[in-house]
Amino acid sequence: MAQVEATTERVVAAAPDTVFDAIADYSGTRAKLLPEQFSEYEVREGGDGEGTLVHWKLQATSKRVRDCLLEVTEPTDGELVEKDRNSSMVTVWRVTPAGEGKSRVVVTTTWTGAGGIGGFFERTFAPKGLGRIYDAILTNLATEVEK
């Protein structure tokens, strides 16, 4: 069983605080950013960054649906960490300055993959699929904060 990792990044034409606040706003903005692969979105505790508990189902492929219950922490400025209580999946959002009025957003998800041939296919294809999903989220984020 090996660590599987998917990373996507984008430069957004908005200040880092604005971008981070949008990502951390689970009770408002975040739901608007999610593409069709997400369903049953529900904030169960909190709603703004640290201390939030949020649920959703992520349909990564036509056959694979993850039931996610995520605890949110903010270990450092500009960093949001979502740890899934139902699996080994951890997603880290990092927002850093990228020039005047711009931000670099990097989202990285890691989890412990399956072993054997199934694990081979997971390590090969899951990062690309998740990358496409996160690219859609970052496109929606840019649309939201660049208004």
Q: What six digits make up the tokens of 44?
A: 């169960």
Q: What six digits make up the tokens of 132?
A: 């496409």
Q: Give pLDDT, residue 1.
A: 63
Look up residue 40 and give its amino acid.
Answer: E
Q: Give pLDDT, residue 51.
A: 97
DSSP 42: E
**For the residues 97-125, what does the mean pLDDT come to?**
83
Q: Give pLDDT, residue 147.
A: 77
> Any idea which of 19-23, 78-82, 113-117, 128-132 has the lowest mean pLDDT?
113-117
End-to-end CA distance of the chain: 44
Average pLDDT over the chain, rounded to whole? Answer: 92
Residue 79 to residue 81: CA distance in whole angstroms = 7
Residue 3 above 90 pLDDT? no
Band of the pLDDT at 123, cuts 50, 70, 90? low
Strands (E) across the chain are located at 3-12, 38-45, 53-59, 65-73, 79-84, 90-97, 103-112
Q: 13-23: per-residue pLDDT in tens? A: 999 999 999 99
Q: 62-100: per-residue pLDDT in tens? A: 778 889 999 999 999 999 999 999 999 999 999 999 999
Q: Give pLDDT, residue 36.
A: 95
Residue 136 above 90 pLDDT? yes
Q: Give pLDDT, residue 112.
A: 82
Which pTM does this prediction carry?
0.90
DSSP 133: H
